[in-house]
Structure 1
């Protein structure tokens, strides 16, 4: 790619109608802008259209501002919710964790080797246990204990940190606290949780043990956006593994850890690459 150019991601959501793809591609082609990839989907149930386009254009911030101003006319014509972002910008991610460390370790490893192109300005935990591993990665660790009486104050500290550190995404890496309705609202569509179960089954404590007691034949994990309805947020990614009667509940737990790692990392990657677009209580995920 020309060093004078950068990659940008355009995301669109709007009422479905004729001519959207033509208008967008024509707009870019008319400005001699190269489209590197594009995907779109029309939902017949909601009558909405979704599009993700990666294109190469001038690296000059002034040129980008002018491009956005010009595209706004198309956005207005089709009643679009749209955004154009620099594909190379690393989103700033705050990780919340409790005592289970497998998802945290996996995210830190992918961050360290560059598989997840993100910045992690801080990790917050309600326990002190994981401070050493986080600080080994050069990341500040904030121990913020929480009780029923201190929950509001603790969440206020987290929200202040999110604003001060310009956080783009919050990841609950097995953070075993239920966020308040107020915090869920403040972080809508920017907080991802990993649920240690294949939703919507076996919610609550020890889901793998519940699954084992019921003799299930598959187990899995679900990554979803957080809402005030516990474990009912829009689903981003899921995966399953087949099991049988010879395996113990502890075997389920071990397999579950691996699935949780993969599902959460995929969900974070989809989010930071702007591959997820809200569709009511669901998501459209352009995986490829």
Structure 2
């Protein structure tokens, strides 16, 4: 909790219901930060965090601003903004910012921090990644609502039941792939899912599926991409005699294991390590990179452009 340096008193944390996050992506030009800050200031917003990045080669500008609504005009309640008032504040800001965004050719996204993203997790037989995500979610580390777990195997069913999460068993074969995917998409739509997490789901999604969730499907791949794409990367790494293994979390695109990379981790190995050793050590890396990617997405810290990402602190 932040401390007032002058008085030594503890400042209360701004409630999530009163915080908002603004993400901006636009052509770089002078005065962008000033224009955004002045608009926020004019509406009484209190900026909590602000970060920007310029891609000088492409001439592109990126910005993330987290701000508090409680200090806006007409906010007199000692307990902060009511939900109705907070929605009104966001609506007013969005209307005014849209005018500025159009002038400066901005792509922008605006979120209320308290809104919990609805998540579906897909997995197959390996449970280390999904077990980690469920633990982090239940402990409050991941600000989301996991509404369903979908698998083409039944190994995760008991784990889903333990956490009180709906489980759907949808087997997939080459002959039933289209039917299975149609059922998956229908289920996701009915549950209003906003983010799909592939926690070692060993099936390739079709272009139709990917197109329904642009920059909203996160996968974990058990290698340091772009090395060793596809299946059995630990076996390929061992055969190649590499000295580092890694894991990668990325957004899913129609190109296999080629989407915008969000996070990566590596571990050093040696000639003494066998394939089984690489798999065991790699599982820790997989847990780490997937949970980070999911958390950063939920906290609205990622912007995609081209086949790259900007990940704000």
Equivalent in 132, 155, 164 of residue 129 of structure 1: 155
2:284 is the alignment partner of 1:258: yes
Deviations 1:135-162 (A, max 9, x none): 1100010000011111111111111112
Q: In structure 2, the residue corresponding to 1:40 is in which secondary structure?
A: strand
2:19 equivalent in structure 1: 7
What is the DSSP-based 3-state SS (H/G/I as helix, E as strand, rest coil) of the residue aligned with 2:253? Answer: coil
Give the TM-score taking structure 2 as reference length: 0.89
Distance 2:298 2:286 in 1: 18
Matched, 1:162 2:188: yes
Task: Name the SS of the counterpart of 2:26 in structure 1.
Answer: strand
Distance 1:136 1:4, change over 3 A: closer
> 1:3 and 1:151 mapped to 2: Cα distance?
45
4+ aligned runs moved over 4 Å, structure 1: 1-5
Q: Which moved more, 1:241-250 or 1:101-110?
A: 241-250
Q: Secondary structure at the match of 2:230?
A: coil
User: By how many angstroms is 1:115 displaced?
Assistant: 0.8
What is the distance in 1 between the residues matched to 2:69 and 2:171?
47
2:121–2:146 Cα contact (<8 Å) kept: yes
Instruction: Supply the distance in 2 between the matched residues of 1:3 and 1:237 (Cα, whole angstroms).
Output: 29
Structure 2 unaligned regions, length at least 5? 1-12, 71-80
Contact 1:5 1:56 in 2 (8 A): no
SS of the residue 2:200 aligns to: coil
Alpha-carbon RMSD across the aligned residues, in angstroms, is: 1.3
Single out whichever of 206-215 and 230-239 deviates more from structure 2. Answer: 206-215
Query: Max radius of gyration: which structure?
Result: 2
Cα deviation 1:54-112 (Å, max 9, x = unaligned): 00014411222111111111111111111211112111110000000000000001011
Deviations 1:24-81 (A, max 9, x none): 0111112221000000011112211100000001441122211111111111111111
The answer to whether structure 1 residue 106 and structure 2 residue 126 are counterparts is no
In structure 2, distance between residues paired with 1:202 and 1:281 = 18
Partner SS state of residue 18, structure 2: strand
Instruction: State the shift of 1:203 in Å.
Output: 2.1
CA contact (8 A) 2:121 2:198 kept: yes
Per mean C-alpha deviation after superposition, the further-off stretch among 50-59 and 263-272 is 50-59
1:37-48 correspondence runs (5 A): 37-48=49-60
5 Å-filtered alignment, 1:180-191, equals 180-191=206-217
Q: CA deviation at 1:205?
A: 2.5
The residue that corresponds to 2:294 in the other structure is 268
In the aligned structure 2, how far is the partner of 1:127 from the partner of 1:280? 35
Summarize the alignment of residues 1-288 of structure 1 with structure 2, pairs less than 5 Å apart: 1=13, 6-58=18-70, 59=81, 60=85, 61-286=87-312, 288=313
- Hey, what's the Cα distance between the residues in 2 that align with 1:126 and 1:187? 20
